[in-house]
Amino acid sequence: MDIIDTIKEQIANNTVLLYMKGSPNAPQCGFSSKAAQAVMGCGEKFAYVDILQNPEIRANLPKYANWPTFPQLWVAGELVGGSDIMAEMFANGELQTLIKDAAAKAKASEA
């Protein structure tokens, strides 16, 4: 499987997916820390990929997503954006709604 297929599979198989530097509990940059805090603040389970441990993803995801920087948040297969967008959406309540709705739809489709 090539790396683009791996990325597509990760996005398809995880309702809420954060590509970041480090892990949510041990972020390796300030932007990833801010992003992880925003997503964790929404109260739903989410997956993450540490791009520092996955250099091929780090190199290829920006091309696939047409988004040059990390972190990147994907919800229900759609790119939400980076840490500034996530922080702004969290501050006005949009991120919580987006993630809770996506999680509820995913749970409903599993039932």
- Annotated binding-site positions for glutathione: 21, 58, 70, 83-84
Cα–Cα dist 73/15, whole Å: 10
Binding site for [2Fe-2S] cluster: which residues? 29
Radius of gyration of the chain (CA): 13
Encoded tokens for 64: 């696939």
Binding-site positions: 21, 29, 58, 70, 83-84
